[in-house]
Structure 1
Amino acid sequence: MAAGSAPQVICLGEALVDRLGPLGGDPATAAPEQCDDRLGGAPANVACALARLGTAAAFVGRLGSDAIGAAFQQLMAERGVNLSGLQRDSSHPSRIVLVPRDASGDRSFGGFAGDQGDGFADQALEASGVNAALPPLLVGARWLQIGTIPLASDSSAAALMVAAQLAAAADVAIALDVNWRPTFWDASAPVDAGPTPAAVAAIQPLLEQAGLIKLAAEEAQWLFGSRDPAVIRAGLPQHPAVVVTDGGAQVAWCFGSSSGVMPAYPVAVVDSTGAGDAFLAGLLHQLCLQPQLLEGGSAEAVRFASACGALVCGGAGAIDPQPTQQQVEAFLAGQL
């Protein structure tokens, strides 16, 4: 990726720290030396993964004026991610997410740390700043990548809707990763709770605007009553491309006139955090290289994306294990 390249994908939303607990343990009660703090947050992960693959990316979000914010700024600058839309906040800290892991490395979300009583910086993303920073980034961009977590807070929800409106006006497609995380909406909610009617109502306008929707199988069931991407595609007015992932089991997709199902690549899992984000980055990378795939679909693009997700599972954290294009190609060559 050439330095200063105009972003092909703009990733908007949260950047935060994943505090990984010891395998089989709880980061809320484990000793600090047993935990592993990793930079993360779905849109931040996607931006960093795209940049590593060679697709120019930008990140738009809000971080505290703290050590976490400084670490993110350094990391993204080193990756070559455009940060012209980054907001810094001296009143709210960057968010720390507690991530328990089971003995196999699969993770859940167990609440937050670092709150000083007034919420986190990502919740305070300002619409006015997005309105000022986003239009220049949209010039020449192909995708605005978003999730639903900003909808859980009033300020960031308003900023997200401004971004969606600006993308529509600029004819830039939206890639929506549903990424349902009940804890962000209600700290007391069970980790396996589905979206409430109010959350579904907030998410629905984005579902009806997106050109590409990525859902986990349980999210598809909650929102559409089906895990079949063709059914989901047919039920939305714009007939988007739809991808439904199912952890280490399989991925199903429906792009334009083609659809398919493939098993996930079997890998030894160190930590599954960020695997879905790496998958989405791999898919967007392929769609930027070959935009026609959005209409005709391609199993090759899904295989490439699945390899990105598999490779991230082989290391700790969401960002450090992200592969280069060459590493993905080498992995895929070994699967033949």
Structure 2
Amino acid sequence: MALVPVVVCLGEALIDRLGPPGGDPAVDRPVDDRLGGAPANVACGLARLGTEVAFAGRLGQDAIGDAFSHLFAERGVETTLLQRDGERPSRIVLVRRARDGERQFQGFAGDQGAGFADQALEPAPLPQARWLLIGTLPLATPASASALLSAVHQAESLGTAIALDVNWRPTFWDASADPGAEPSAAALAAMQPLLDRAALIKLAREEALWLFNSDDPGAIQQALPQRPDVVVTDGAAPVRWQLGAESGEQFAFQPPTVVDTTGAGDAFTAGLLHRWSSPPQERIRFAAACGALVCGGAGGIDPQPKEAQVEAFLGEVS
């Protein structure tokens, strides 16, 4: 490794194909292709904030893979763990945007019959780091699930804390699924080993209700044997959190403009990990500001703020 990362972000890097507001990205034009994928978004967000970070994932030997390689180099993300696939393409996700900026993932494009590169992620040795940031999407395919679980077991042996952003997306498990469908019993069972090992769990309110029948971070913490830190987000409603023995709520900051909410949760996660050594309330407040600022531009990566921009924004809203 060229650097010793504070965070290793493992999982998908892909294209978010944003449809015109109110339109269908599969047929309506113009579309706006943006580099994305939750772990890639978090990695780029951390790097822009100034945290040393590595990305572990798999991309095609295609223009999308090349674009990510250039992006990671530009941001300073370590890519020793980035795999390239000569058979499978990088994934394109079709994103339907409402006129108010809210989005819904509705399917994929680019599959040539062999699936997508991220589905074929292979296990690889991980460096020692403070955090391994993961989501649940690699669990949807056997090969990538095996690579994810290998990384989790390595992290445990290395003393690396696991941060889990649940990020439930039913279409990754079944391309024909309703984008609003809840997890199946099989998906819930697959997620449980991650929930039981994570030191930090971030989840949306609906995910909390599906997984724990509660949206109370304190109750979720007590429901798991390792008593993790828990953050529950709820769109524009306040973030609720339980970090160790401390708990609270943080109202959502209103960004100056809302262009697209894609990547807001990932910017929040990046801000949270970046400020982890700060007091709990300050961590959450900084993270909330990161999430708000990324809504001011299209896609989940380009509008990500630098630390000084976040500090300036917090100074204005104080």
TM-score tier, shorter chain, comes to over 0.9
SS at match of 2:103: coil
CA distance in 1, matches of 2:254, 2:214: 25
CA distance in 2, matches of 1:98, 1:145: 24
CA distance in 2, matches of 1:167, 1:300: 27
Match of 1:282 in 2: 271
- The runs of 5 or more residues in structure 1 that have no matched partner are none
Match of 1:233 in 2: 221
Q: 1:41 pairs with 26, 34, 37, which one?
A: 37
Output the amino acid matched with 1:111. G
Match of 2:202 in 1: 214
TM-score (norm 1): 0.93
CA distance in 2, matches of 1:271, 1:5: 33
1:102-126, CA deviations, whole angstroms, 9 ceiling, x for partnerless residues? 0101000010000001100000001
CA distance in 2, matches of 1:248, 1:98: 23
CA distance in 2, matches of 1:75, 1:24: 29
Q: 2:80 pairs with 84, 89, 94, which one?
A: 84
Question: Is structure 2 residue 14 aligned with structure 1 residue 6?
Answer: no
Match of 1:119 in 2: 115
Match of 2:131 in 1: 143
Q: 2:285 pairs with 285, 291, 303, which one?
A: 303
Task: State the Cα distance separating 1:89 from its structure 2 match.
Answer: 0.2
Q: How many residues align?
A: 317
Q: 1:52 pairs with 48, 51, 55, which one?
A: 48
Aligned runs of 1:1-336 on 2, under 5 Å? 4-31=2-29, 34-127=30-123, 130=124, 132=125, 134=126, 137-138=127-128, 141-267=129-255, 268-287=257-276, 290=277, 298-336=280-318
Task: State the Cα distance separating 1:5 from its structure 2 match.
Answer: 3.6
Output the amino acid matched with 1:103. R
Deviates most, 52-61 or 267-276: 267-276
SS at match of 2:81: strand
CA distance in 2, matches of 1:199, 1:331: 39
Output the amino acid matched with 1:322. Q
CA distance in 1, matches of 2:258, 2:22: 14
Output the amino acid matched with 2:231. V
CA distance in 1, matches of 2:234, 2:258: 15
* RMSD across aligned positions (CA): 1.0
CA distance in 1, matches of 2:2, 2:287: 25
1:223-262, CA deviations, whole angstroms, 9 ceiling, x for partnerless residues? 0000000000000000000000001111000011100012
1:296-328, CA deviations, whole angstroms, 9 ceiling, x for partnerless residues? x51111000000000000100000000000000
Task: State the Cα distance separating 1:4 from its structure 2 match.
Answer: 4.5
Output the amino acid matched with 1:54. G
SS at match of 2:267: helix
Which of the pair is proportionally richer in helix? 1
CA distance in 2, matches of 1:298, 1:64: 39
CA distance in 2, matches of 1:228, 1:174: 21
SS at match of 1:11: strand
Identical-pair percentage: 64
SS at match of 2:25: coil
